[in-house]
C-alpha cells in the first residue's frame, strides 16, 4: 500500500489556460513517447488502467491530472471544498518526439510542455522517464535544460531495465549519474537531479520511485500492507 494508490482521475487539459486552479503540489511525468510514462503511473498507483498505456506511441495527447488524497473526490466534483482536501497531483504529460505527429501539432505540444514545466508554480518536481536503452536524447536534454533553471528537483527514471543485462544496467546508471553531475550553475553548484533504474515488467525500482515521489510531494506514506493485492505487470513491448 502506498499513498499513491489513492490516485484518481481528476481532469484532462489541452491548453495552458485550462490548467486547474489548484493549490496542492504536483509532480509531472515527462518523457519521449513510448518511454513508459503511463505504465510507470499505473504501476506506482497500482491501477492497471488509470493512465492510458499503449503499444501505439503518442497515445497520451493531453495533460492528465490524477489526485491523491481528498478521498471523496469524484471525476465530476471539482467544487472548492473538495479540491482543498486534495494533497497532491500526479500529472501525465504527452510524450514528445513522436515522429508521426504533424509539424504544427508537434510545435503546439513542444511549446506547451516548455511553458508548463517552466511556469507552473504548483509543479514541485519533474520525473523524467527515459528508456534505459537510449536515455538523454536531444529532447530529454532540452526538457532537463528548460526545467533546471527553476531549481526544482528532477528524478530520472530509466525504464524497461528488464531489457538490459546486469552489466549494461550498471553502466547506464553510472553514465546517467555522470551526465547529471556535469550540470552546475554559475557558482559551480550541482542541481537536485537523481536517477534510478526501473522495470514495470519485472517490478524493479518501484519502491525506490515511490519513496522518491512521496518525498518530492512532501507527503507522508502509509505503512506497507504485505497482503495488498498488486495489479498485473505490463506486457513487454519489443
Ligand atoms: N519491457 C518493458 N516494457 C515496458 C515497460 N514499461 C512500459 N513498457 C511498454 O512500453 C510501451 C509504451 O508504454 P507507455 O506507458 O504507454 O508509454 P508512454 O511514455 O506513456 O507513451 P506516450 O503516451 O505515447 O507518451 C507499452 O507497450 C508498455 O507495455 C517496462 O518496464 N518493460
Ligand atoms: Mg502515455
Q: Residues 59-73: pLDDT tens digits?
A: 667 899 999 997 554
Q: What is the pLDDT of residue 73?
A: 47
Q: How far is CA 201 from CA 137, 197, 205, 220, in A?
A: 23, 12, 11, 27
In angstroms, what is the span from residue 17 Cα to ligand 2's centroid?
22
Mean predicted lDDT score pLDDT of the chain: 88
| Ligand (nearest to CA of 201) | 1
Q: Which of 41, 50, 54 to mutate to test the pocket of ligand 1 (most atoms within 8 A of CB)?
A: 54
Ligand 1 pocket (Cβ < 6 Å) reads 31, 33-39, 53-55, 57-60, 95, 159-160, 162-163, 199-201, 234-237
Q: What is the pLDDT of residue 60?
A: 66
CA distance 230 to 45: 10
* In the chain, domain spans: 3-216
pTM score of the predicted model: 0.91
Q: What is the pLDDT of residue 106?
A: 74
> What pLDDT band is residue 78 in, cutting at 50, 70 and 90?
low
Which residue puts its alpha carbon closest to atom 12 of ligand 1? 34
> What pLDDT band is residue 225 in, cutting at 50, 70 and 90?
confident
Q: Which CATH architecture has domain 3-216?
A: 3-Layer(aba) Sandwich (3.40)
Q: How many CB atoms within 10 Å of residue 160?
A: 25
- Per-residue pLDDT reduced to its tens digit, 110-133: 888 999 999 999 999 999 999 999
Q: Is the dihedral of CA 114, 115, 119, 121 positive or negative?
A: negative
Terminal CA-to-CA distance of the chain, rounded, Å?
30
| Ligand (nearest to CA of 37) | 1
| 8 A C-beta contact, residue 206 and residue 197 | no
In angstroms, what is the span from residue 225 Cα to ligand 2's centroid?
28
Place of cell 491523491: 68
CA distance 7 to 20: 16
**Mean pLDDT, range 88-98, rounded to an integer:** 90
204 half-sphere exposure, CB direction, 13 A CA radius: 17
47 half-sphere exposure, CB direction, 13 A CA radius: 16
Amino acid at each position: 500500500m502506498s499513498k499513491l494508490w489513492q490516485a484518481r482521475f481528476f481532469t484532462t487539459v489541452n491548453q495552458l489556460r485550462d490548467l486547474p486552479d489548484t493549490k496542492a503540489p504536483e509532480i509531472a511525468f515527462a518523457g519521449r513517447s513510448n518511454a513508459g510514462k503511463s505504465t510507470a503511473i499505473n504501476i506506482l498507483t497500482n491501477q492497471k488502467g488509470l493512465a492510458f498505456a499503449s503499444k501505439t506511441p503518442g497515445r497520451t495527447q493531453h495533460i492528465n491530472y490524477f489526485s491523491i488524497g481528498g478521498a471523496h473526490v469524484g471525476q465530476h466534483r471539482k467544487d472548492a471544498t473538495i479540491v482543498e482536501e486534495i494533497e497532491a497531483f500526479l500529472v501525465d504529460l504527452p510524450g514528445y518526439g513522436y515522429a508521426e505527429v504533424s509539424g504544427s501539432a508537434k510545435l503546439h505540444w513542444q511549446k506547451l510542455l516548455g511553458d508548463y514545466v517552466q511556469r507552473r508554480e504548483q509543479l514541485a518536481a519533474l520525473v523524467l522517464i527515459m528508456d534505459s536503452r537510449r536515455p538523454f536524447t536531444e529532447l530529454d536534454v532540452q526538457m532537463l535544460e528548460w526545467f533546471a533553471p527553476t531549481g526544482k528537483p528532477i528524478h530520472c527514471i530509466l525504464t524497461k531495465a528488464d531489457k538490459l543485462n546486469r552489466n549494461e544496467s550498471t553502466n547506464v546508471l553510472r553514465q546517467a549519474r555522470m551526465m547529471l553531475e556535469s550540470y552546475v550553475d554559475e557558482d559551480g553548484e550541482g542541481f537536485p537531479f537523481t536517477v534510478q533504474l526501473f522495470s514495470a515488467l519485472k517490478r524493479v525500482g518501484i519502491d525506490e520511485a515511490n519513496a522518491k515521489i512521496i518525498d518530492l510531494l512532501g507527503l507522508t506514506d502509509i505503512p506497507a500492507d504485505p497482503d495488498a493485492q498488486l495489479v498485473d505487470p505490463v506486457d513487454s513491448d519489443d
